[in-house]
Structure formats: structure tokens, C-alpha cells
Chain A
Amino acid sequence: MPPTAKHLSITMPSLWPAVGALALAVGPLLAFAQSPQDWLARMAEAVELLNYEGTFILMQEGSVESLYIIHRHEGGKVSERIVSMDGAGREIIRHEDEVTCILPDKRSVLIEQRKDVNPLLSALPNYSDKLEQHYAVALSRRGRVAGRMTQVIRIQPRDSYRYGYRLWLDEATAMPLKSQLKDENDEIVEQILFTSIAMPEFIPQAALEPTIDTAGFTWYRPRTNGASPQTGAVAWRAAQLPSGFELSASTVKVMAGSEYPVQHLVYSDGLAAVSVFIEDPKTDTEPMAGFARMGSANAFSLRMRGQQVTAVGEVPRRTVESIATSLTLTPENNAR
């Protein structure tokens, strides 16, 4: 692993007097670049468009896992591989049209086709005034992470239906080198911290290939090529949503391990997202009901009109519960 960009942190202090003295000369430029919205927009681009690889620590629920990430953006296509360096030894590999999740502890491989890539882009946070109706976004102090100087951004929810964030963004690239997800009590739900990161110009394909021998594993993949058109005169929609949440995507797909289409709704407030999955319960061997938690994500399941409904998202329990329980069948023409 190459050394991190220490030169930035070493050199920058010597430049601060010059920067201060020159504030008048380049004031508009400085102001443009220093707004928290600009930082967040740069972060969203950096996370997707930069090449990077590094080791980071994931802390949640008292557990600590070290992981390795390789992210490549080449020719407009994004590939990513995340590997657990301890624990269950899981891997997840994402190419532009497919996500492969290798679960050695379950001796399983999940493959999901990604037929429609655009919704991902449309779901990128839109840092508008609208977002600030539900979050207070502010610049905080500067700090050092993995040997690099960072700008800290605080994103505090204005109600208890969403989590807050604290982000340490690399001053040079806006890459988030550290992030905290905070609940309504300001307790840290999840913390991610890069211990080393490099941004190579080129990442070979070999670096994105899995290393786990999956012989004997059960493979779950969609039986058909992913999405099928939504049909029928009615559609499932949430009748009541926490303030700011809107429907941002609606698809019907045959998911890995299912024989029947699953409706997938995504509700987002521009930053947080909640997915609702509605499927025929006969595709499950056992019903799901009540709350479940996976990492920082909460899930709430119930049976409704003979369908298995599950809402999942990195939001408080009350949010997934309120969205799931408000689902109703709506005439297609009104389903917005």
C-alpha cells in the first residue's frame, strides 16, 4: 500500500498565510468552493468517479470489521469490490450491470442483475434547499484522517425520521475518509474509517475479481433477465410518508431465489432512502414479521393483503415501520 498523501497535510499550513492574504483576490472562488453543498456535491462525484483502493474499518453495534475496497471508474463504467478481511470473509463485487455477493458463511452466492442503471443516478443526493428543509448542513472543523487533511461536514436531521451524518472529506479530493451515521439520540450507529487509501490512475480487471472458491456453494440468481414490466390496474404505494420522503423509483423484478416478481419501491428524502419490497409470500419458506436489523439498516416486515411486505433502509425503526404499514393499493394512474 503506498503512503498516503502526507504532503498535503505537511505543506498546507505553510500556505495558509498566503491563502488568508489572498482571500480578497480570489474571494468569489473561495466562497464557491467552501459551501457545504459544494463539498457534498464534490463528494458524490468523488465516490463514483475516482479510482481508489484502500482499507477501512467498519464499526457498528460494538463490532469492528476491517474491509478492503477497490473502486474503478473507467470509460464511464463503475466497478467495485469490497472484501471482508476478517469475520465471515464475504465479498461483494459490483459491475455496471450486476452485483455478486459471495457469502462463505452461508455457502451462498447471490447475483442480482441491474437492468436499469439510471435510477441509481437519479437517487444520488440532490443537495438542494429542499434537502435543507429536513437536514441542517454545516461545515465544521478541519481534521486529519489517514494522514490527510479533511473538512468535516455535519448533517443533522431536523426530525427523528432520519439519521444524521458527520463526514470527514479529503480536502484534495472530497473523498469521505471517515463517516459517522448518527441516530436520533446522537449516538453513533455506524462508523467507517479509512486507515489507508490510494487513488491509482489505473486499476486492473484482475483486482476486481473474487478470490473465494465457490465450489459447492448455492447460487441464487434471477431466473429471468431481471425486470419485467409492471402490469395491472393497481400499484402499491405508501399512503403516508414522513415529511420530505418521495417516491424516487418503482420497479418490478424477479430477484435471486424467487420465482415470482417482486415489486420494489424506493422512497427518498434526497439523502436517506427506504426500499419497500412486496412479493407473493409463497416464494418464502417462512414468513417475515416485525423488526430486523442488519448493520445500520432497519427492516420491518408484515403481511398485507396476502403479500409479504418489507421496508428496509438506513433510517430509524419508526421510519421503516410507518412507511410499511401505510402501504395501500392505488389505481395505477394515481400511483405517484
Chain B
Amino acid sequence: MSEKIQEQISAFLDGELPANEAELLVHRLSRDEAMHAKARSFRVIGAAMRNELLQPDPHVLRRRVFKALDGDPSSERLVAPPAWTPLRLARPIVGLAVAGGVAVMAILGLQNIAPQSPAPTTGALVADGGERAPPATYVVPQEPAAASIVQVPIRLTNYLVNHGEYASGLRRAAIHSEIVGYQSDADREDDATDREAP
């Protein structure tokens, strides 16, 4: 993908691409999956940089759509029907494509927050061999005691931790949550007491 195309995508997502170029770009995006993916990653970076992911502004998308339509970001234009003139008739044809592109990007985008990061199937998580300095709170492990052969509940937990590492990202997080959220024996006893209470 040429640098010029990347600049066009970036300008498009910022609402700064001229309408005629935007129309051509939307057409290309609809046919080129690589460009589509690049546009989505640009979109999420832009959103992150603008802090939209954290502190969303309800008018951001509306402003961008209308800016792309006719350069007027005022929200009033959203509800005011356009004058029915040939000039006004032609404008939405270009604007439709732009608005569609922006809307679809907004709906479907935000996939990859780091474009330089490889996709999971290409080894995104491969360690680089660097040493990580663990936090001081748990870098001072005690030597396992002589009688530290694990008990069954610990062994099962250990199995589950190891199992979780081979689950998908979603399930791994869920499995870890189960380990963390697992009720203690004391909680279970309390629950049982509550159930037995009149």
C-alpha cells in the first residue's frame, strides 16, 4: 500500500479528504481488504489519540459526518432538511459515500489499536527474550517447604492455570476469572449457613 493511499485514509478518517477523493477511496476500501484493515487500524489509533475511546463525545461522529457532507458540523443541519435544489441534490451523492464510509468505519472499525503489532496468528505474543523485572512484592519467593507437596485443591487450581494458557484469549481470561473469583471455603460455609437459616 503506497504512502499516498495511507495518507488518504488518514485524511479521510479525519474528515479532511476532499469529497471527490473520498468517493474514490470509499470505492477502493469496499474492494480491498488490506486497505480496509489499514483504515480500521488508523481509525482506532485516531480515536485513541483523540481520547474518544475513553471520554467519548456524543457529537464526534455526527460532526465528522456533516463535515464530510458539506463542511458544516453544526448539529442543526442534522434535523434541518436540505433545500431541494440541483446543487443540493448532487451534494448528497458524494456525501452519501463519505457518510457511509465514516459510519461503517465507526460501526465496524476499532479493531487493532497497534498497527505495527502483528496479528495473533503471526506471533504477536512471542517473547523477545528480554528479562522482566518482576514487582518487588512477589520477587522474593520463599523456598518451597519440605512438605510443600501440593494438596488436591491447589493441584486442580494449578491444572486450571496451565489449561487456561492454552485456551483462547476470551476463555483464558474467563478461566483466570474463575480461579480468582472462586469462592473460598469460608464463603461457601457462610452460604450453606445462610441457606439453612430459617
Contact = CB atoms under 8 A, between A and B. Distances in A.
Given A257-B149, A275-B162, A199 B97 contact: no
Given A90-B179, A109-B138, A173-B110, A123 B157 contact: no
Interface stretch (A58-66, A232-240, A327-335): A58-66
Given A73-B113, A87-B187, A176-B170, A111 B120 contact: no
Contact of A288 (B120, B137, B152, B160): B152
Contacts of B127: 77, 96-97, 117
B131 to A, nearest CB: 9
A92 B166 contact: no
A45 interface: yes
B169 A284 contact: no
A: contact size bracket: 35 or more
B177 A117 contact: no
B185 A58 contact: no
A51 B113 contact: yes
Contact of B125 (A117, A201, A213, A266): A117
A48 B125 contact: yes
Interface in B80-129: 96-97, 99-101, 103-104, 106-114, 117-121, 123-128
B24 interface: no
B178 A296 contact: yes
Contact of A22 (B56, B100, B141, B167): B100
B5 interface: no
Most buried by A among B52, B56, B151: B56
A38 B52 CA distance: 24
B137 A214 contact: yes
Contacts of B11: none
A26 B92 CA distance: 15
A212 B123 CA distance: 33
Interface string A15-57: 1001101100111111011100000001111111111000010
20 contacts: A15-B61, A58-B178, A63-B183, A77-B127, A77-B128, A90-B181, A99-B164, A109-B141, A110-B161, A201-B49, A201-B113, A210-B137, A213-B137, A221-B141, A255-B162, A257-B154, A264-B162, A277-B162, A294-B157, A295-B179
Given A97-B127, A284-B150, A310-B159, 11 more contacts: A15-B62, A45-B120, A65-B181, A110-B157, A121-B125, A124-B121, A172-B107, A174-B110, A176-B170, A218-B144, A299-B159
